[in-house]
Chain A
């Protein structure tokens, strides 16, 4: 474990040294400390919408915006308890090529479930005098899924890409605040639940894994109803299929595990679709 972490550090140093003008800079970021704590990294977006001086305040605000369930224990929110971590200076490339096996291994080991980054641009307004329209492509790397892909265990589409605003979205033209444009609680909840559920499955916490994966399935289904196109649509469909298959795997492995209780609630789900519901 220590050797892997050293490798990750060396790898990060290498990225810093090799970073070019339009290249990435994978400075390290400190996840939440403590056993059983999970983090979401918020890295700097590329693009022309923000000046370098605006990036750090942008990330801090994004962190505050997304962390709205910080007091989740007081509101009994079903969302996973994660800590959002702003990572100023960390700028992964848009295609996600920075996330090699060593880096992903380090993130996975340190309880990072998701890394979010992307690009933010401002296009001229449709009419003369109209304010510029913000456009974003946000990338979401589901770390446990990428970890599994690196081990050739699965092909779960660990890198999800969504564009904001979506075609025909209400308020699309009026969103002038980049944080409000990209801070989508439902999207984040979906990817966090998927990543957390899969991580739990790998650690054989079958019931928690199943509940999180089914929650992710419901949320991904809601995202899929939006007017997604092209790569975003196919990648999301691939992820959802993987999430459903993983939920089914949680049931199967629980039933096959001699240590799983005879009255375990997953036995109710045997023989039905992994997350039940309509066809």
Chain B
């Protein structure tokens, strides 16, 4: 049983797309139909504390709710610069589990009410919380994907190598589209100060100017608070309450590599990383002019750099690896194939346990290259190495199947005799069908 808490809705339609904000019960997740990217913040689960029984008291539950609500506001205000975005805060009953897989299943069921439409992207953030003394230790997770016609689709890269009959059409997919961030510390006092200063910064002003008179927005976790966005002027958004009352202008976060003094990103730098993910997914959805895309690419880089300044690689190798993949993707999309291949190789070094990273590094190294016996032999070794890490990886198996077909056309390049080749190809086919 989950508590059906109230709603907090901020909906708007701009020329760049839709911007919206909502708060919903975890049992009934929905996204906005218009935005290119929807972000969902799910509960931060209490993991207990050292000097008290595992069941969280009301103060810790409140801290958990406060963190999720602030993360929600932080994510939304940061991603406003990406244009067509929406953010939803999912609420679970105290001590209840908000099952991520259930939420994903609901939101990716084609045609279901409130589900993603093909082409939309979803970024999900959630976490867990641990208390020691007056310190809170917060650990966040992120998962992100685009919706296809029949469900979520992985981010896939198509790589052409060779020419004529001696060519390969290879694929690579991002090594992971979900990760666990390194835990971070924030004191209860700091959290309260962030909350207060956030509210003070989110002031509805009479005019789009910092000096204009204004009043604080009455954010309250779990309380109905609907707004629509009427207009935009530079970084300023004009908000109009949907339930009546006086609106005003609020300044959107524009990024710039450093979080404002009151930003939760100062304590939870993974939110800068999440902002980069939001920007990356916005870029992946596409339909952007170069003038729109260029600042988004910059924002992605700034978000990643901010995270990397705060959290060293040895504490967060996966996040650094995913960051390398995103940078490589940007280079790849820009047609900078050599640079992209180097970055994918770098990602592979940071993500040594991920088959996808090894596969990406192997196939992008061949992009546009003329094939020969040595290069395909190297590809075979790398694909088998990737398969050793993940024996059921469909993309690696498909690449291997392509390679064995090439061996049939170019037997001089094959290290296998014809009988072995037939046997290996059959094994790959069997693995693909499993």
Contact = CB atoms under 8 A, between A and B. Distances in A.
Nearest to B350: A222
Contact of B100 (A74, A171, A211, A274): A74
Interface string B390-429: 1110000000100000000000000000000001101110
B389 A215 contact: yes
Contacts of A64: 47, 130, 137, 139, 183
Interface stretch (A9-17, A65-73, A94-102, A118-126): A65-73
A71 B353 contact: no
A193 B353 contact: yes
A151 interface: no
A183 B428 CA distance: 39
Contact of A75 (B133, B178, B349): B178
A273 B382 CA distance: 11
Interface stretch (B88-96, B203-211, B311-319): B311-319
Contacts of B390: 78, 211
B362 to A, nearest CB: 10
Instruction: Give the interface centre of B50, B139, B353 by most chain A CB atoms within 10 Å.
Output: B353
Contacts of A275: 385, 388
23 contacts: A57-B132, A57-B133, A60-B130, A61-B130, A61-B132, A68-B139, A68-B181, A75-B176, A75-B179, A76-B178, A78-B390, A79-B353, A170-B313, A184-B315, A185-B317, A186-B314, A186-B352, A210-B391, A215-B353, A218-B389, A219-B353, A247-B388, A263-B431
A189 B431 contact: no
Contact of B427 (A70, A222, A265): A265
Contact of B314 (A184, A207, A263, A268): A184
Contacts of B133: 57
B134 interface: no
Nearest to B143: A75
A269 interface: yes
Interface string A156-190: 00000000000001110000000010011110010
Contact of B101 (A65, A68, A73, A183): A73
B400 to A, nearest CB: 8
A71 B424 contact: no
Interface of B: 47, 50, 99-101, 126, 128, 130, 132-133, 137, 139, 141, 143, 176, 178-183, 312-318, 349, 352-355, 358, 378, 381-385, 387-392, 400, 423-424, 426-428, 430-431
Contacts of B314: 169, 171, 184, 186
A268 B387 contact: yes
Given A78-B355, A265-B392, A276-B383, 7 more contacts: A56-B50, A169-B314, A214-B388, A218-B389, A265-B391, A269-B388, A277-B358
A78 B354 contact: yes
B354 A222 contact: no
A153 interface: no
Nearest to B312: A171
A221 interface: yes
Contacts of B317: 185-186
A71 B137 contact: no
Nearest to A60: B50
Contacts of B358: 277
B180 A69 contact: yes
Contact of A277 (B176, B354, B382, B431): B382
**Interface size for chain A: under 10, 10 to 19, 20 to 34, or 35 or more residues?**
35 or more
Nearest to B185: A177
Interface in A50-107: 56-57, 60-61, 64-65, 68-79
A263 B282 CA distance: 42
Contacts of A268: 384, 387, 400, 424, 427-428, 431
A69 B319 CA distance: 13
Nearest to A271: B420
Contacts of B384: 268-269, 272, 276-277
A69 B317 CA distance: 13
A201 B3 CA distance: 47
Contacts of B385: 214, 275-277
A37 interface: no
Contacts of A211: 388-391
Interface string A206-231: 01001100110011011000000000
A169 B313 CA distance: 10
Contact of B381 (A68, A72, A79, A278): A278
A267 interface: yes
A75 B392 CA distance: 17
Contact of A218 (B137, B313, B352): B352
Instruction: Give the interface centre of A77, A79, A247, A276 by most chain B CB atoms within 10 Å.
Output: A276
B128 A70 contact: yes
Contacts of A278: 378, 381-382
B431 A222 contact: no
Contacts of A185: 182, 315-318
B180 A68 contact: yes
Contacts of B47: 64
A193 B352 CA distance: 13
Contacts of B100: 71, 74
A70 B314 CA distance: 19
Contacts of B382: 276-278
A189 B353 contact: yes
Contacts of B50: 56-57, 60
A137 to B, nearest CB: 16
Contact of A276 (B130, B381, B428): B381
B381 A277 contact: yes
Contacts of A70: 128
B143 A74 contact: yes
Contacts of A193: 353
A148 to B, nearest CB: 22
Contacts of A269: 384, 387-388
Nearest to B137: A64
A263 to B, nearest CB: 4
A9 to B, nearest CB: 27
B387 to A, nearest CB: 7
